[in-house]
Amino acid sequence: MADSVLIEGLVVETVVGVYDWERDVTQALVVDLEMAWDNRRPGESDEVADALDYAQVSARTKACLETLKPKLLEHGAEVLAGVLQREFGVRWLRLTLRKPGAVPAARSVGVCIERGTR
């Protein structure tokens, strides 16, 4: 199966970073998700109950990162991937977590991880 559900450019405001000043402010993180999901059933039924509800996944992603307040993007990505796989039954996902403005000469920095099996 090669079906996926995508969420791109989800902005989450949270505490993130290793420097003392970063622990006192919120900054934007940008999340991109590709999650393996069999879309045949919701494609036939047209019922959200049969789909991977991207509104619920988005809300859980925001809540996870806002609560976690990671120092490292790597930690935020790893914890979030585990939460999404456990809570939504996602077998495989590709997660990109970006921190815009972290390096002045770059639009953003980030990490990309893949977990599970397609």
Q: Which residues are catalytic?
A: 99
Stretch (H or E) spanning 107: none
Sheet holding 108-116, edge to edge: 4-14, 27-36, 92-100, 108-116
Answer whether 86's CB lies under 8 Å from 57's CB: no
SS3 84: helix
Lookup result for tokens 């921190």: 99
